[in-house]
Amino acid sequence: MANNKGLGRGIEALFADNDVEEGQEEVIDLSLAKLSPNPFQPRTHFDTQALKDLTLSIKKSGVFQPIIVRKQSGKEDSYEILAGERRFRASRMANKQTIPAIIRDASDEQMMEIAVLENLQREDLNPIEEAEAYNTLMTKLDITQAEVSKRLGKSRPYIANYLRLLGLPTVVKEMLTKNQLSMGQARTLLSVKDKQNLIKLAKRAYNETLTVRQLSKAIDELTAKPKKKRKPRRSTKQSPFLRAYEDELQDKFGTNVNIASSRSKKGSGKLEINYTSDEDLNRILQILDINLD
């Protein structure tokens, strides 16, 4: 087990007082040639247009906020970037030779957590990158989903839902990475056990721009038992507000959700959440934060 005691406080210390006070820390100009990215960086795709925009800004006005680096172990006068890789990349594109930086101490454990936190705060990781980031924290730091949840301020079902994406076929994960599928569509596809059917449905969802509701219906039709009449999902007189709530819940749970108003008593009704297996039921219970252990 990695020694992680006090890791959260260490992260806070690394980023506390980012406005450098005189006599405490020094902002120095480091050669870009001496810098290398955070080796635990979860992002593999950087938005090209956003980098071009940042490059133009740096060409015109320079880098206003220093990046944060640590000395690279075993290499003299070399540094690894803790935070600010986009500024580093854009500075290289702008043909700059140096960049303002603050040097701080950080362990490998802190480097990993920083890499995930910085990108999560920016909200620019794609779902697969985010899932792999959580998996890396668990594997490298030897910690549980619950510990990742606590450190990053995310619920356990949230972490679990992302980790489940790593079990999707490679071609479907690539579609998710390229934003050809939404997170809601990917969660819905997880209920399909046959790999080839899953891939076909993923491609159909993209080619036909299916909503989560439509994709869920296609899955039901594919897995439905022959000659069995399907009960209508909703009344034609259903309120548009209830229909909107159904859509939101269906996207959240990645399965069919049905809200039926009572005909006998105003303001009452029934909420149904479909599941296709014991595993699927456990997934939904996790989202509801229900744990019988």
Q: How many CB atoms lie within 10 A of CB 265?
A: 8
- SS3 state of residue 82: strand
Nearest to 131 by CA among 153, 174, 161: 161
The amino acid at 24: Q
CB 182 within 8 A of CB 215: no
CB 191 within 8 A of CB 280: yes
Q: Return the exposure string of 277-289: e unless at least 16 CB atoms fall within 10 Å of the residue's CB, then b.
A: eeebeebbebbee
Using CA of residue 288, residue 289, residue 290, residue 293, what is the dihedral sign? Answer: positive
Residues with a known catalytic role: 85
Rounded distance, CA 261 to CA 286, Å? 27
The amino acid at 42: P
